[in-house]
Amino acid sequence: MRLLGLDPGLQKTGWGIVESHGSRLIHIANGTVKSTSKKSLAERLVELYDGLTEVVAEWQPHSCAVEETFVNKNPTSTLKLGQARGIALLVPSQAGIPVAEYTPNHVKKSVVGAGHAGKDQVEAMVRILLPGIQINGPDAADALAVAICHAHHAVTAANIGVNIR
């Protein structure tokens, strides 16, 4: 099963694609979709939409997982992040791809084993789980972690006869 993980952000939305063959994971691709900070919020959301639409069209994932938003101290930043996250939920759903959601702590616990792991620990574990990988930035590493988390849940669900696609 080909899985897309998304780490939403208004400036950069990370994406990572892995294939899950039972408990074996294979890295397919990763990167970031960027928006132009000098553009209006609406134009930036269109850039994210267009970029994620290209990723979905090119890589044809079967399932998607999106990291849930954490609350910042700045409510304006949280709202903008939520709007970018809305695009991350919309694009795969609009393409008919089922979308799961995981909290940042859940992703970290699934990948690293500790819910409060640092970004460097997450990236190191992604490199261990996907040997030889070229990671295209920290946002892509986080997105790959989301995809790995989703893959782990898909394997567990399949083993107990539940379909989470």
Q: Is 18 exposed, middle or buried (0-12, 13-18, 19+ CB in 10 A)?
A: buried
- State the Cα angle at 152 between 27 and 18, rounded to 5°: 15
Active site (annotated) includes residue 7: yes
Which residue among 50, 101, 123, 139 is the active-site one?
Answer: 139
Cα–Cα distance for residue pair 154/62, rounded to 1 Å:
12
Q: What values do phi and psi take at 7, rounded to 5?
A: -115, 95
Which residue among 67, 101, 123, 142 is the active-site one?
Answer: 67
Active site (annotated) includes residue 67: yes
Active site (annotated) includes residue 139: yes
Give how far the C-alpha of residue 108 lies from the chain's centroid of Cα atoms, to the nearest Å: 12
Cα–Cα distance for residue pair 106/126, rounded to 1 Å:
15
Virtual torsion, Cα 142, 146, 149, 150, nearest 10 deg: -160
Which residue among 7, 68, 101, 123 is the active-site one?
Answer: 7
Paired residues of 31 in beta bridges:
15
Structure tokens at 70: 């954490």
Q: Point out the residues that are catalytic.
A: 7, 67, 139
